[in-house]
Structure 1
């Protein structure tokens, strides 16, 4: 009788990455015959156990792909997790009648999930949104032969090879060479580097006396206009607006309806009518 596969989470003591990698490496690789048998069982019978065995036997392949993206500075465990999601999507869509091994079919789905994760998390601001930019993002660094900036001929050669415009190559090179910069200086920054923090060279208008005076006068004028507009309302409408919008504990429509002996819908109508009068009385 074939030994059942042990759940991965039970094979990983403490959930450490190294233990996980060792665990998945011990799962036997499927033969062509066994893979086809499981694939047909899943495709025709929707056997969940067959899907599980197909996924488990290819987890080592996800680890291998994740390690090829280690240069992006993201946690390998996160890349593996995203790749596993892609593997499960591939298994769900796998058709053994096409005559293609699952590993060849799944590589697209695994890389697609990893690519999406990298693009979401590599920078605060997205560096690649179009198809051409995504292609450049994952191929430009390997295409460059040196760490120096590309020459015009090199940029043109890469553009021709990847089928994109040369300006896209130059723009992506600049994005890859940039880095996120926090507003405040790092805690461990020295005097030579601290000046680069935006907090030292971004202009702050909050302390401008002219703007402070303008803001204060605008607020005083707005409050005066509001008081005059409220004074022109009838007492009931003024009280409804006061309790609905100006009181610390705002009254509900039903509470005001009980207070005035009318329906909640009538209170709503009075409130809307009063608000329209205020908009007319107070210029935008």
Structure 2
């Protein structure tokens, strides 16, 4: 903290000059000047999150990451000071760090849950459980459901438990959480393959069809992409006034082109 306080606060003109040098010349010394002059801002914001039981130094470190992201994106020609722009980025990084580390099993995953997570402590008055009128007030102010307030209060007040049995009794192992928390989903490699296949079948197929001319696209869709399609080569030949063999050639050429594009997407 003594080191942080030793760095001078920049004037508006100095800040603008540093930011212009960084933006136009990628001057890392200018970036450093912007960062160190705002370290006290990070420390001040981090102090506001001391109630989560996480090391203050780690909170500041995460806030510094947010500050660096803000400096990288800061546009000096917007007419605003860096301090106003950086606050959002600093808080965002600290929030992410708290959510990742405050509990082994994550508490806040949706936007509404995060809002509750970071505001429930300060809005709660008194000890003990929330009263019905308090629940209603908090739900109204945060624009969430009362049951979501109660659920978050319960989860924040819970205790962490060990996933594995700490005793030497092997018989107790089958009753430890790790024994019944097995993930039955696909393993990561299979999941990745499934996701990639879905991507090919949707976005890749759409791009491949768009690459065809109108007649080729019509033939492929009629022959292969319509459910319960019984369109024959002769039907399409009559539609376009050409021979069935010509339709077959167009179809074959279109399928080869699509196959090449789909292999690139894969």
TM-score range relative to shorter protein: 0.5 to 0.7
Whether contact under 8 Å (2:46, 2:56) holds in the other structure is: yes
Please give the residue correspondences for 1:190-205 in structure 2 after superposition, counting only pairs within 5 Å: 202=175
In structure 2, distance between residues paired with 1:184 and 1:122: 22
Whether contact under 8 Å (2:19, 2:76) holds in the other structure is: yes
Q: Which has the higher contact order (CA 8 A, sep 6+)?
A: 2
Q: Deviations over 1:67-88 (max 9, x none)?
A: 1111111111111111111100
User: Residue in 2 aligned with 1:120?
Assistant: 100
User: Residue in 2 aligned with 1:102?
Assistant: 82
Please state how far the C-alpha of 1:43 moved relative to its aligned partner.
Answer: 2.2
Of the three residues 146, 169, 178, the one matched with 2:126 is: 146
Please state how far the C-alpha of 1:201 moved relative to its aligned partner.
Answer: 11
In structure 2, distance between residues paired with 1:172 and 1:26: 41
In structure 2, distance between residues paired with 1:184 and 1:202: 8
Shift of the 139–23 alpha-carbon distance from structure 1 to 2, 3 Å rule, reads same
Residue 30 of structure 2 aligns to a residue whose secondary structure is helix
Please state how far the C-alpha of 1:117 moved relative to its aligned partner.
Answer: 0.6
In structure 1, distance between residues paired with 2:98 and 2:81: 27
Residue 62 (structure 1) aligned with residue 52 (structure 2): no
> Over aligned residues, Cα RMSD in angstroms?
2.2
- Counting matched residue pairs gives 173
Taking structure 1 as the reference length, the TM-score comes to 0.57
User: Residue in 1 aligned with 2:147?
Assistant: 167
Structure 1 residues not aligned, in runs of 5+: 1-20, 187-198, 207-284
Structure 2 residues not aligned, in runs of 5+: 180-266
User: Residue in 1 aligned with 2:53?
Assistant: 73
In structure 2, distance between residues paired with 1:76 and 1:109: 18
In structure 1, distance between residues paired with 2:152 and 2:7: 41
